Amino acid sequence: MKKWLFLLPALLCCAGCVSLQCAARFYAGRHRGQGVGRNGAIEVAVETDAWSILEIRIVEQCEDELIGAEAMRELTELILEGDSTDVDAISGATLSSEGFLDAVNDALRRAAR
């Protein structure tokens, strides 16, 4: 029994490494996604590391600047703050919000491990 005790720290270390690898949610990098808003296609680039969403850039969109584009900026802040797309659409810009969230979720599906 005593001769196996020296292996315990090594086994625990390896178990920890495996757990960290399993916890990774994404492939690190920039991933593009698309959705459809009120006025047409929305394309985003979402940058991730292995565990979180780092940045969301709007590549292309045709939404109204005062309503739809502002809603997308607000949603970007909420997503980055909570590290999740589980956020409510912005009232008054529902279709733009849903298209933007669809685009971000599309990018995250492409990034998923």
Give the pLDDT confidence score for residue 7 in this predicted structure.
Answer: 54
pTM (two decimals) = 0.81
Task: Tell me the average pLDDT across 90-111.
Answer: 98
- Are 80 and 56 in contact by the 8 Å Cβ rule? The answer is yes
Residue 16 placed within a domain: no
Residue 75 placed within a domain: yes
Give me the domain span that covers residue 89.
Answer: 26-111
Give the pLDDT confidence score for residue 23 in this predicted structure.
Answer: 77
CA 33 → CA 9, 50, 113, distances in Å?
43, 18, 16
Give the pLDDT confidence score for residue 77 in this predicted structure.
Answer: 98
Residue 64 placed within a domain: yes
pLDDT tens digits for range 29-54: 999 999 999 999 999 999 999 999 99
- Are 75 and 100 in contact by the 8 Å Cβ rule? The answer is yes
Residue 6 placed within a domain: no
Residue 38 placed within a domain: yes
pLDDT tens digits for range 53-85: 999 999 999 999 999 999 999 999 999 999 999
Give the pLDDT confidence score for residue 55 in this predicted structure.
Answer: 98
Residue 92 placed within a domain: yes
